[in-house]
Amino acid sequence: MPRTRSALVCMLTLCALPAPAPAQEGPSTEELDAKVDALASEVNRLRESLSVPEEEARKSRFGLGPAASKVYENDGLSIGGYGELFFGHYLGDGETRPAHRGDVYRFIAYFGYKFDDLVVFNTEIEFEHVDQAVVEFMYVDLLLAEYANLRTGLMLMPMGIVNEMHEPTTFRGNFRPETERTIIPSTWREVGVGLLGGVGGLNYKLYLVSGLDASGFGLAGIGGGKQKGSLFVWEDKGVVARLEYSDGERFDVGASAYYGGADQDPTERTEVTHLVYEAHVIVRVAGAELRGLFAEGRIEGDIGGSGVPDDPSTEVDESAGPFPVTPTVQRGWYVEGSYDLGPALGFERAGLLPFVRFERLELNVEVPAGYLVDAARNSSRLIAGLEYKPHPDVVFKGEYDRGQSDLKGAEPIQEVRLGVGFIF
């Protein structure tokens, strides 16, 4: 009887338990495969974005180079940079020609941080000739609206074609045009505050910046007067303005001007001002590109100087009369043409660009009264070369450079250069 009772209790207990729910159907094999493929694609995209910038990140913003513009694309930290080096071989008699040369010209690191859609910090740290380190720019933007944004800090002067857009993949040849290195002079940056923006294809920039320091002017012009943000003097200011129109693909046309005091004298016993203006155009048609630029600089006031060359190693016969000093007027211009043969040769991403540039420099147009115009400072240059881009961000450059001074009887200076540049 006890066994019967136990069996009955077990049967009743089993009957009281709830019946198991019917099994639910899981996702199909096809659905699982689709999810796995989607996850794999997202992982690959994230992994590639850490090492190779997407196409959107290589576009120029606010006139800066593609690598310098990365900070505007993604929130948080952005890192980029560029580098360039060259080998030069002078042609001619070893007794008269300069020594062959080469240089690890530049390595640049960009560090930027986009705090949010309003505030962006951007900086360029430059290492020149391996052992010289400078801050090329360092600024903060307040991105208020498309037509009006604020910028303050150490800023590139918005002048010419290459002073802002100076990454090696964006200009032809191993060296930037001499007109833009001397008269503008690139790379030119000063501390200040400015307004920038645009509507449609029309863009503008207007900056108030620290003025030049005329005590650094010399035979070569104003280049030594750039303050570059290093313990700069703020007695004299400068104003620079740029206006440019671009349709986005076929052409860019613009002009800019800078005017400011340069004596930096708090006593106001001396007064020196400097004016430089330029106009430029870039036209692109079916793989061809044509560039042109004209620039002129003018100095007014007491720039001082003894009339002796500013190189202390130069031997001077004081009885021979006046000698060259800082020129008061300089001008230059160039035209350049290039054509990308890559598409015609079936290159998918690579480019092959022959180019030629003719440049005229008149660096002693006018000098202070009583001093000599140095004809050796006026010259013409012809540069012809070929660039190969195995990747849009890497370029190999080769060129022939022939410079001819206006000095009567002067022999031309000829050099063949090979170089490489990259951005990232």
Domain boundaries of the chain, sorted by first residue: 59-312+319-423
Q: Which residue has the tokens 């961000």?
A: 393
Q: Which residue has the tokens 């493929």?
A: 37
Cα dihedral 185→143→241→290 (10° resolution): 60
**pLDDT score, position 393:** 96
Each residue of 51-65: pLDDT tens digit? 444 444 478 999 999
Question: Which class for 132: exposed (0-12), middle (13-18), buried (19 or more C-beta within 10 A)?
Answer: exposed
**pLDDT score, position 25:** 59
Question: Which class for 174: exposed (0-12), middle (13-18), buried (19 or more C-beta within 10 A)?
Answer: buried
CA distance 383 to 1: 116
CA distance 237 to 214: 13
Q: Is the dihedral of CA 227, 228, 233, 236 positive or negative?
A: positive
Topology of the domain comprising 59-312+319-423:
Porin (2.40.160)
**pLDDT score, position 272:** 93
331: which 2 tokens? 């001008």
Along the 424 residues of the chain, how does pLDDT read in single tens digits?
Answer: 444 444 433 443 444 444 444 545 556 777 666 766 766 666 555 554 444 444 444 789 999 999 999 999 989 999 999 999 999 999 998 888 999 999 999 999 999 999 999 999 999 999 999 999 999 999 999 999 999 999 999 999 999 999 999 999 999 999 999 999 999 999 999 999 999 999 989 999 999 999 999 988 988 889 999 999 998 998 999 999 999 999 988 999 999 999 999 999 898 888 999 999 999 999 999 999 999 999 999 999 887 544 444 444 445 444 444 556 789 999 999 999 999 999 999 998 899 999 999 999 999 899 888 788 888 889 999 999 999 999 999 999 999 999 999 998 899 999 999 999 999 9
Instruction: Indicate whether this model's pTM tops 0.75.
Output: yes
CA distance 66 to 260: 30
CA distance 333 to 292: 7
Residue 306: phi and psi, rounded to 5, are -95, -5
CA distance 386 to 109: 27
**pLDDT score, position 57:** 41
Concatenate the DSSP letters of all residues of 206-268 into one string: EEEEEPP-GGG-BTTBSGGG--TTSS---SSEEEEEEEEEE-SSSEEEEEEEEEEE----TT-
CA-CA distances (angstroms) from residue 141 to 125, 258, 304?
18, 22, 39
Around Cβ 280, how many Cβ atoms within 10 Å?
22
321: which 2 tokens? 């009369």
**pLDDT score, position 288:** 97
Identify the three-state secondary structure at position 312.
coil
